């Protein structure tokens, strides 16, 4: 087992796991200083390409961005989302996961779903490919308006069963997205592996957010997103200063010229 995965497993019930997204080397270098897991998420579809759904994200998209991120990641566990339609069958899952690992040198892949994809999970783990699970709101297959999960007894039972099934078949952690607090807490307590929440309460073993969201680079109004800094303000300030110095011919000065 990967030593970084062992480190994450040991954090269960001891200390919170930090997971953040990165889609480029520059962001990855900063994320890596704090994160236990750096995730190249298919959220890059909406964040970078303005796609309305992650279904449009391709394997090439994921590999290209993950290769850039790999340059900036030194200590955290680099995990890459397998995009929509790349794990429809065992053979497709294995072929595409191998391609991702080979071309990006990442440490693990992440798949969305429980019982429906358990055969693919088994296939990957059997072939020594580390897998992170993802339950609750599943953006790749969600239809209509996104809504939270685990409110009804039926949903709660299914989520718990799926989580236990994923654990039994070897995933090292599970992302819980937009799951009702009491259900997320129950799942976390039922598992020996860590849960990483996004919109699923403080009772998970860790938290993940899209880095661009917490930095205020996206104008998102999703309930679980908190803007920790307004980075756009500083970007505007830097560009404004550049503009003023160019127009006044203060830049480039002698020190910035050959």
pLDDT tens-digit series, residues 52-72: 999 999 999 999 999 999 999
What is the per-residue pLDDT for 220? 79
3-227: what fold?
TIM Barrel (3.20.20)
* Average pLDDT score over the chain: 96
Give residue-wise pLDDT tens across range 10-19.
Answer: 999 999 999 9
167 CB-near residues (< 8 Å, 6+ apart): 174, 191, 192, 193
Indicate the SS3 state at residue 38: strand
Give residue-wise pLDDT tens across range 172-199.
Answer: 999 999 999 999 999 999 999 999 999 9
Closest CA to 191 of 116, 114, 111: 114
What is the per-residue pLDDT for 172? 98
Q: Where in the chain is the domain with CATH 3.20.20.60?
A: 3-227
Q: Which of 30, 103, 112, 177 is catalytic?
A: 177
155 is catalytic: no
Q: For residue 114, give Cα distances in angstroms to 122, 132, 134, 166.
A: 11, 11, 8, 7
For residue 101, pLDDT over 80 is answered with yes
């Amino acid at each position: 087992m990967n030593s970084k995965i062992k480190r994450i497993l040991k954090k269960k019930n001891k200390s919170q796991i930090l997971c953040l997204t990165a889609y480029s080397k520059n962001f990855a270098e900063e994320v890596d200083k704090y994160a236990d897991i750096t995730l190249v998420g298919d959220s890059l579809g909406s964040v970078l390409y303005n796609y309305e759904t992650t279904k449009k994200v391709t394997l090439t998209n994921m590999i290209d961005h993950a290769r850039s991120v790999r340059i900036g990641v030194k200590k955290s566990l680099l995990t890459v989302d397998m995009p929509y339609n790349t794990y429809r069958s065992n053979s497709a899952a294995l072929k595409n996961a191998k391609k991702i690992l080979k071309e990006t040198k990442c440490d693990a892949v992440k798949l969305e779903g429980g019982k429906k994809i358990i055969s693919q999970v088994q296939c990957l783990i059997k072939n020594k490919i580390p897998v992170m699970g993802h339950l609750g709101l599943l953006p790749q297959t969600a239809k209509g308006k996104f809504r939270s999960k685990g409110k009804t007894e039926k949903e709660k039972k299914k989520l718990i069963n799926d989580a236990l099934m994923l654990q039994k078949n070897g995933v090292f952690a599970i992302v819980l997205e937009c799951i009702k607090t009491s259900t997320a807490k129950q799942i976390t307590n039922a598992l020996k592996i860590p849960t990483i929440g996004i919109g699923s309460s403080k009772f998970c073993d860790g938290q993940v957010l899209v880095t661009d969201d917490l930095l205020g680079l996206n104008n998102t109004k999703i309930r679980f997103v908190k803007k920790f800094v307004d980075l756009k303000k500083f970007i505007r300030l830097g560009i404004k200063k550049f503009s003023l110095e160019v127009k006044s011919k203060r830049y480039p000065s002698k020190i910035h010229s050959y």
